[in-house]
Structure 1
Amino acid sequence: MSHSPHVAAGRVAGARDPHELTDWIRGFADAGTFSPLRHVRTLPARDGEQIALPDWVEPSLMAALAQRGVTRLWSHQALAAEEIRQCRNTAIATGTASGKSLGYLLPGLTSVIEGTRAPNGRGATMLYVAPTKALAADQAAHIEALQLPGVRCATYDGDTPPDERRWIRDHANVVLTNPDLVHHSLLPGHARWASFLRALRLVVIDESHAYRGVFGSNVALVLRRLRRVLARYRADPVFVFASATAGEPGTHARALAGLPVTEITQDGSPRGAVTFALWEPRPNAGEDGAPRRPAAGTEAARLLAALVAAQIQTLTFARSRAGVEAVASAANRHLQALGSSERVAAYRGGYLPEERRALEAALRTGELRGLAATNALELGIDIQGLDAVVMAGWPGRLSSLWQQAGRAGRGGQASLAVLIGADDPLDAYLMEHPELIFEAPIEATVIHPDNPRLLARHLLAAAHELPVTVADTALFGPGMLPALAGLEAAGAVRRRPTGWFWPHDGRPEGIGSLRTAGEVLAIVEEASGRVVGTIDDASADHHVHPGAVHVHQGRSFVVTDLDRAAATATVVPGDPGWSTIAQSRSEFDLATPDAVQLAAAVTVCRGAVTVRTQVVSFTRRLPGGEVLGRHPLELPERTFTTEGLWWHLPEAVLHASGLSGPRIAGSVHAAEHAAIGMLSLFATCDRWDIGGVSSAAHPATGEPTILIYDGYPGGAGYAARGFEVLPAWLAATRELIAGCPCERGCPRCVVSPKCGNGNEPLDKEGAGIVLGVIGAALAAAT
């Protein structure tokens, strides 16, 4: 029985037996001198719990589902449908491919079809919001395939032509979009959407676990603005939040919309057995005879090629855009060496829409048997039928791990999931502690809608949409009035007796992207003017500076110019034979902390931090890692204020523990690196979301100091979470360092891939001493 209105075509291979997949991965691992398998666990199959379709489902919808074999519901679908039908806001958080969409489509489409019989007016409407355009288009295809009478379904995104937009506003009753278009188009132009908004009965926020950090905080503020505009049209729709398995999904949904929400987490769908392997690459002899540990991406490419050659359709996730391109290229070289005619492709953000959709279609039909992707394919696009998923490095959070692993085995078939440990502190720790993967609860999602910088931006937008009143404090929180006072003093808004108004012509400037703290730059080919891809402004200095090597769909380009005024990076095609890595320097100013913990001689603070960073050079490296040279760059310094967590202690305390003065700088630096790598275990972030600095004597404290900060202007809640869990976080960090077999430090413990100082100086032993002293002080204070 299918619980998706769309049935994927053309599976490459028949359903796999779990024993077959387990034997395959063990056999592949044992082919070398040392097996890289650290742990193998079979997650048993689960039976589903079925319930009859409710009587209130509209007959034409019930008939369309019956034609696709859907005559009964899984228990969570039935419960969700009933809650929504009773007009209760609902959060559905069940596993990948558990059929969450049917839980909200039944009441949503039933209301829409019933509304078409109304004698006057538009009838009921439904708004579906997904984090990606691809996911909205995929859901639209499912709805259109039902061919329901009276349902006028349309996607509304950045690719929609102007004439189609007018038709959608005036006639569509099911609109599928993304939060960016709600922010940039629907809300500023709400008067043109008046008939649609007046009739709105259901708002679906799909893949709601994806709304975290800065993106999630922005979306939370967009939803508050949407509620204001809906109140203007006297609409009070039901809000539904669909999420993969997540910690506290109801709490997260309430934080996103500021509404009471019913939580549904008991998954009633069947699940095939999953063979889950933890894989740690073993050192091989390098060209000079010295043992070298393969990178996670290198190992993932080897495994991907072998799986594809064995007719096992496989999706491989890599952490970065460059990593995806490298994995796909290396896998194709392996396949060629194996004599296989199969090929794999890369899939990542920055591709043009037509490129992404062609790849999605090829994966669905089985024409493409292997794909390397970023987490752009982590979300619920319908690519059912995969046999295996390979993850090149810890994806940053348990919710992402299970979402990625769940991309295989859809339809109740057995599947294989492999997590390849990267040279990274957290990856190394998890390889030693599989219980933290298989037995730990899913972490809660962190958002920070009170971020003052973000709040001010959205209040400007809200004032442009409708006057902001004191009553809106219930939506925007206690920070609203101080933020409005600042905007009023700057002349951005004007206060009148009825509220705060936008007093200028045109729209507010500087609202920017919901997904980053800055804008998006186009990567343009110099000769043709063709847009090769895009990159966010915050990443541009590191990845598309002059001289950088940029890879797109396996093709290499060299950046010749970075023009921020024009929001473009200009490239020329060609592979110079090396890669590039940017180096930066950072300086920090600490404000008066807003929270302090005193533990013996250790002082722990949380508060505002001003960060000044500048990319100052880049190195060229050959594929084997040899450095060809370092080249200076003249790029502007970037300054932003964010939230940070820092702790400091007297130098004399470290001396008493056996740490001499000359070793302190390297010790606190190594402890900072390891702590950054381990924070993801306690907060929904990865090391690229956060930054850090250490000093043997920071000017603001006069003592050895370690600072961890959110890598986004205004903060994202990560440092605040670290402040709450500091003892457990630092204890795990110390255990990681003590358990690492290296002598002087390595990427598994204290060496950081993002260090702007080239990982100098580092003192692994001293880091353990520093963390031991701090941990003892914190334990004594509790």
Structure 2
Amino acid sequence: MTRAPAGGRTPPPTPGPAPGTAAPAWRGLLEEGRRDGRLRHVEVLPERAGERADWPAWADPEVVAALERGTGGRPWRHQVLAAEAVHAGRSTVLAAGTASGKSLAFQLPLLTELRRPAGDGSGRGATALYLAPTKALAADQDARLRALGLDRPLTSTYDGDTPPELRRWVRRNASLVLTNVDMLHRSVLPGHEHWAPFLRRLRFVVVDECHTYRGVFGSHAAAVLRRLRRLADRYGAEPVFVLASATVAEPATTARRLTGVEVHAVTEDTSARPPVSVALWEPPRRRAPAGGTAEPGGERDEGGEQRTATAETADLLAGLVARGVRTLAFVRSRAGAESVAAGARRRLLEDAPHLATAVLAYRGGYLPEERRELEEGLRSGRVLGMASTRALELGVDVAGLDAVLIAGWPGTRASFRQQLGRAGRRGRPALGVFVPRDDPLDTYLVHHPEALFGVDVEATVLDPSNAYVLAPHLAAAAQELPLSEADLELFGPAARDVLDLLVARGLLRRRARGWFWTRPERASDLTDLRGAGGTVRVVESGTGRVLGTVEASAADSAVHAGAVHVHQGRSYVVDELDLTGGVALVHAETPEHTTHARSRSEVRVLAVDESAAHGPLTVCRGVVEVTSRVTGFLRRRAGTGQVLGEEPLDLPERRLRTRAVWWSLRDEVAEDAVGGVRARLPGALHAAEHAAIGLLPLLATCDRWDLGGLSTALHPDTGLPTVFVHDAVPGGAGFSDRGHQRLREWLGATRDAVDACRCAAGCPACVQSPKCGNGNEPLDKAGAVAVLGAVVAALDAGAAPAS
């Protein structure tokens, strides 16, 4: 890899074009960024020639002929290696880069096998399931299969939009069903009797983009796949699992945790790849004018407010489109995608008005036909620029892009590389640009390129033994088919204790033949795979129109009475929150203020799984109970943040049993770190907690919103100044355990990020948190650097078992 200097030093010119070729049109943009100091670093991912192999002798000739039309000849060697393993009956995971042809690797053995007629003369032979994390990806894969032009096998998508009459046809006739784990959980497995002929012939289960099954959702998916294996075995089938991902760490381990079977890994990527220049691009900081908000233009001020990633990305998108560069901009939210597209169009109306209509937005909430039209526009070049949420991150085919913009850290290196992989699919040199938000992790990464390049992606964290996840799935499995002693090994060592709990609660009944479901309702309705505790509908009072939903666990702080709620760019004020009915009633209004919930929380240690002393420092991990309550909210003037007032709220207390990592410092060491002024200690610990939460996603596959924390100068369970960081979901998701595992690296990076921040007393890029229940008070940036320095020094000095 070729590296340009990081930090404030001016990078050298990026490599010139190869002899006889034209310089990419986007190179001028990098020159502009170099001149004004926004370009902080350029990493050149080198070109790769690729290595071909012969088609396997066992492959169906018609399948080979159809696939050859897409490959232009022979397959890549890694495609053949994976296909050979699957054909031999080995569960296999293929971990190869974006656009490396992973689909062909499983299509070749699947289509070859599924085209063979049934030995019993029934017509339909072997069957297969294709599981995608999104409906869009399943639909795209189905379209690719149909485009092959084969008369067999019969394929069909099966999701929440599939009408009842088509569902019956799919069950009876389709050999390859493209669906998702949600439909397995809610429809296929509870109604397995209707799927008996299909399950009896089940030969393959494909799990595409398997890195997306992480955290609590990944743990749910693991339980669903074990339920599928159990029912397949009931009908006499033992399917081969085929998993694929461009960005999965420890692929064999991750695949085994997800499926519960031993999995062979193919990890070499032998596909051709064009060179990709990845730019780390920092928006300028401006000093806001008196009484106003900072605007672009004017002289650079290193200590002022940073221009938003959204505004900066809109200008970059417009600049690239004006140069004729086909560009996709990834934005974290639906509203952000619309804002980037609108901002780029406004800029183009000034500079290149004939191109303004060539920029559009793409996000969830559009009709399927609208999304297909947008995708085709991007492929054909009719759409030159598109701002998208993560909806286009996964395998939807949008080949031929010249550049990708990433507005704000997408959460993991895995997602970052998935998004970069959307550029450069036709052999031309490509550009990727990362534009950081004013956030601790984003700021750290743009100044530490070594944390992005030349390192592995994060390990996929999931815990199939999480009792909070396992309980509803054991209940669902018992309703599908009474559980027996022989089933317990399939669900892991925690299964027996969870079954005892379900029996004690009256949900299951133990009989000589096993465990039986006792309720009239469907057990699979007890849980939502992608949520934690259900959702609250946001409903417009005057019309009864449902605007959207929020997670029930976040409703107290997001849609309490008086809250300003923004939906698709429009502002609403909440009139009433009915937690029992799961409804927040709102009316349209554009107030001149924003609202910020205030909360109070406590953390109680329930169990210490591991404890170690490092001189004056004690580090622990274990189980905690978090008690929290939203007590009121602040009204702040929009634009300036000036506090206009505080309103009290009367909302119930919430309790969360989860996993945490925590560290405590001896009093004298903590006080010395803040200059002997004990009154500074709460602010120093609070700032250190915020920064640590902001940096943990660097090491674990999570977002800061998946985490919570607490800091105190005297905790009743430790008797010492203590900082807790905990998973924000019942039972935990493995994120805090990952932090404990890599504590020195995590807290060292946290200290460095806070220390390097150019602000004077703390800002969103270092110690302020957008989710703080105390309004980011008190915070002591210098104290946080000193406290974190004392913690890191103690870790470096060595460890001994704690008493």
TM range (shorter): over 0.9
Q: Secondary structure of the residue that 1:263 maps to in structure 2?
A: strand
In the alignment, structure 1 segments of 5+ residues that lack a partner are: 1-15
The residue aligned with 1:609 is: 624
1:622–1:628: 8 Å Cα contact kept in structure 2?
no
The residue aligned with 2:665 is: 649
Q: Report whether the alignment pairs 1:695 with 2:712.
A: yes
Q: For 1:385-427, what per-residue CA distance to the aligned partner results, in whole angstroms no more than 9, with x for missing partners?
A: 2221111122222111110111122233322110112222222
Q: For 1:459-482, what per-residue CA distance to the aligned partner results, in whole angstroms no more than 9, with x for missing partners?
A: 111111111122222211110001
Distance (whole Å) between structure 2 residues aligned to residue 18 and residue 210 of structure 1: 38
How do 1:104-119 and structure 2 match up within 5 A?
Answer: 104-115=106-117, 119=121
Match of 2:55 among 53, 56, 61: 53
2:596–2:775: 8 Å Cα contact kept in structure 1?
no
Q: Secondary structure of the residue that 1:72 maps to in structure 2?
A: coil
Q: Report whether the alignment pairs 1:743 with 2:757.
A: no
Query: Residues 117 and 578 from structure 1, CA distance in 2 versus in 1: closer, same or farther, beyond 3 angstroms?
Result: farther
Q: Report whether the alignment pairs 1:716 with 2:733.
A: yes
Residue 382 of structure 1 and its aligned partner are, at CA, apart by 1.1
Match of 2:401 among 362, 371, 386: 386
Distance (whole Å) between structure 1 residues aligned to residue 120 and residue 272 of structure 2: 39
How do 1:222-241 and structure 2 match up within 5 A?
Answer: 222-241=224-243
The residue aligned with 1:725 is: 742
Query: Residues 718 and 66 from structure 1, CA distance in 2 versus in 1: closer, same or farther, beyond 3 angstroms?
Result: closer
Match of 1:298 among 311, 326, 342: 311
Distance (whole Å) between structure 1 residues aligned to residue 779 and residue 374 of structure 2: 44
Distance (whole Å) between structure 2 residues aligned to residue 423 and residue 770 of structure 1: 23
Q: For 1:341-375, what per-residue CA distance to the aligned partner results, in whole angstroms no more than 9, with x for missing partners?
A: 42444444455655544543443343433332232
Query: Residues 69 and 119 from structure 1, CA distance in 2 versus in 1: closer, same or farther, beyond 3 angstroms?
Result: same
Distance (whole Å) between structure 2 residues aligned to residue 364 and residue 534 of structure 1: 32
Query: Residues 349 and 617 from structure 1, CA distance in 2 versus in 1: closer, same or farther, beyond 3 angstroms?
Result: farther
Distance (whole Å) between structure 1 residues aligned to residue 348 and residue 540 of structure 2: 30
Residue 46 of structure 1 and its aligned partner are, at CA, apart by 1.1
Query: Residues 193 and 416 from structure 1, CA distance in 2 versus in 1: closer, same or farther, beyond 3 angstroms?
Result: same
Distance (whole Å) between structure 2 residues aligned to residue 213 and residue 553 of structure 1: 28
The residue aligned with 1:126 is: 128
The amino acid of 2:396's aligned partner reads I
Distance (whole Å) between structure 1 residues aligned to residue 764 and residue 539 of structure 2: 35
1:464–1:501: 8 Å Cα contact kept in structure 2?
yes
Q: For 1:236-256, what per-residue CA distance to the aligned partner results, in whole angstroms no more than 9, with x for missing partners?
A: 111001111321111100110
Q: Report whether the alignment pairs 1:468 with 2:476.
A: no
Q: Report whether the alignment pairs 1:638 with 2:654.
A: yes
Q: For 1:488-525, what per-residue CA distance to the aligned partner results, in whole angstroms no more than 9, with x for missing partners?
A: 11111011122111122231276221112122444444
Query: Residues 618 and 103 from structure 1, CA distance in 2 versus in 1: closer, same or farther, beyond 3 angstroms?
Result: farther
2:26–2:323: 8 Å Cα contact kept in structure 1?
no
Query: Residues 521 and 148 from structure 1, CA distance in 2 versus in 1: closer, same or farther, beyond 3 angstroms?
Result: farther
Query: Residues 157 and 95 from structure 1, CA distance in 2 versus in 1: closer, same or farther, beyond 3 angstroms?
Result: same
Q: Report whether the alignment pairs 1:594 with 2:596.
A: no
1:659–1:769: 8 Å Cα contact kept in structure 2?
no
Q: Secondary structure of the residue that 1:316 maps to in structure 2?
A: strand
Query: Residues 75 and 250 from structure 1, CA distance in 2 versus in 1: closer, same or farther, beyond 3 angstroms?
Result: same
1:651–1:661: 8 Å Cα contact kept in structure 2?
no
The residue aligned with 1:619 is: 635
The amino acid of 1:637's aligned partner reads E
Distance (whole Å) between structure 2 residues aligned to residue 358 and residue 578 of structure 1: 38
Name which of structure 1's ranges 259-268 and 720-729 shifts more when overlaid on structure 2.
720-729
1:53–1:71: 8 Å Cα contact kept in structure 2?
no
Query: Residues 72 and 580 from structure 1, CA distance in 2 versus in 1: closer, same or farther, beyond 3 angstroms?
Result: farther
The residue aligned with 1:777 is: 794
Distance (whole Å) between structure 2 residues aligned to residue 321 and residue 587 of structure 1: 34
The residue aligned with 1:459 is: 474
1:350–1:535: 8 Å Cα contact kept in structure 2?
no
Query: Residues 518 and 345 from structure 1, CA distance in 2 versus in 1: closer, same or farther, beyond 3 angstroms?
Result: farther
The amino acid of 1:220's aligned partner reads A
Residue 121 of structure 1 and its aligned partner are, at CA, apart by 5.6
Name which of structure 1's ranges 610-619 and 401-410 shifts more when overlaid on structure 2.
610-619
TM-score relative to the length of structure 1: 0.93
Distance (whole Å) between structure 2 residues aligned to residue 387 and residue 128 of structure 1: 30
Name which of structure 1's ranges 416-425 and 370-379 shifts more when overlaid on structure 2.
370-379
How do 1:244-643 and structure 2 match up within 5 A?
Answer: 244-288=246-290, 291-340=304-353, 341-343=355-357, 344-349=359-364, 353=368, 356-508=371-523, 511-573=526-588, 575-576=590-591, 579-615=594-630, 616-623=632-639, 625=641, 630-643=646-659
Name which of structure 1's ranges 38-47 and 184-193 shifts more when overlaid on structure 2.
38-47
Q: Secondary structure of the residue that 2:725 maps to in structure 1?
A: strand
Q: For 1:612-633, what per-residue CA distance to the aligned partner results, in whole angstroms no more than 9, with x for missing partners?
A: 2334325354246555555544
How do 1:2-13 and structure 2 match up within 5 A?
Answer: none
Query: Residues 632 and 411 from structure 1, CA distance in 2 versus in 1: closer, same or farther, beyond 3 angstroms?
Result: farther
Name which of structure 1's ranges 427-436 and 653-662 shifts more when overlaid on structure 2.
653-662
Query: Residues 586 and 529 from structure 1, CA distance in 2 versus in 1: closer, same or farther, beyond 3 angstroms?
Result: same
Distance (whole Å) between structure 1 residues aligned to residue 465 and residue 542 of structure 2: 46
Name which of structure 1's ranges 756-765 and 170-179 shifts more when overlaid on structure 2.
756-765
Q: For 1:528-566, what per-residue CA distance to the aligned partner results, in whole angstroms no more than 9, with x for missing partners?
A: 544444443334444444444444554555544444444
2:473–2:524: 8 Å Cα contact kept in structure 1?
no
Residue 695 of structure 1 and its aligned partner are, at CA, apart by 0.6
Query: Residues 455 and 124 from structure 1, CA distance in 2 versus in 1: closer, same or farther, beyond 3 angstroms?
Result: same
2:767–2:779: 8 Å Cα contact kept in structure 1?
yes
The residue aligned with 1:5 is: none
How do 1:140-159 and structure 2 match up within 5 A?
Answer: 140-159=142-161
Distance (whole Å) between structure 1 residues aligned to residue 571 and residue 345 of structure 2: 16
Q: For 1:724-779, what per-residue CA distance to the aligned partner results, in whole angstroms no more than 9, with x for missing partners?
A: 11122212222222222333222222222221212111111211221222222222
Distance (whole Å) between structure 2 residues aligned to residue 191 and residue 17 of structure 1: 62
Q: For 1:437-468, what per-residue CA distance to the aligned partner results, in whole angstroms no more than 9, with x for missing partners?
A: 11112221111111111111111111111111
Residue 23 of structure 1 and its aligned partner are, at CA, apart by 1.9
Residue 682 of structure 1 and its aligned partner are, at CA, apart by 1.9
Q: Secondary structure of the residue that 1:20 maps to in structure 2?
A: coil
Distance (whole Å) between structure 1 residues aligned to residue 626 and residue 502 of structure 2: 23
Q: For 1:579-602, what per-residue CA distance to the aligned partner results, in whole angstroms no more than 9, with x for missing partners?
A: 554443322222131221122222
In the alignment, structure 2 segments of 5+ residues that lack a partner are: 1-19, 295-300
1:248–1:444: 8 Å Cα contact kept in structure 2?
yes
Q: Secondary structure of the residue that 1:593 maps to in structure 2?
A: strand
Query: RMSD in angstroms over aligned alpha carbons?
Result: 2.5
Query: Residues 558 and 337 from structure 1, CA distance in 2 versus in 1: closer, same or farther, beyond 3 angstroms?
Result: farther
Query: Residues 655 and 629 from structure 1, CA distance in 2 versus in 1: closer, same or farther, beyond 3 angstroms?
Result: closer
Query: Residues 744 and 618 from structure 1, CA distance in 2 versus in 1: closer, same or farther, beyond 3 angstroms?
Result: closer
Distance (whole Å) between structure 2 residues aligned to residue 550 and residue 70 of structure 1: 51
Name which of structure 1's ranges 210-219 and 536-545 shifts more when overlaid on structure 2.
536-545
Query: Residues 475 and 496 from structure 1, CA distance in 2 versus in 1: closer, same or farther, beyond 3 angstroms?
Result: same
The amino acid of 2:321's aligned partner reads V
Distance (whole Å) between structure 1 residues aligned to residue 462 and residue 79 of structure 2: 27
Residue 218 of structure 1 and its aligned partner are, at CA, apart by 0.7
Q: Report whether the alignment pairs 1:23 with 2:27.
A: yes
TM-score relative to the length of structure 2: 0.90
Q: For 1:643-677, what per-residue CA distance to the aligned partner results, in whole angstroms no more than 9, with x for missing partners?
A: 01111123222234434211110111111111111
Query: Residues 523 and 315 from structure 1, CA distance in 2 versus in 1: closer, same or farther, beyond 3 angstroms?
Result: farther
The residue aligned with 1:64 is: 66
Distance (whole Å) between structure 1 residues aligned to residue 633 and residue 326 of structure 2: 42
1:396–1:684: 8 Å Cα contact kept in structure 2?
yes
Query: Residues 357 and 527 from structure 1, CA distance in 2 versus in 1: closer, same or farther, beyond 3 angstroms?
Result: farther
The amino acid of 2:652's aligned partner reads P
Query: Residues 24 and 563 from structure 1, CA distance in 2 versus in 1: closer, same or farther, beyond 3 angstroms?
Result: farther
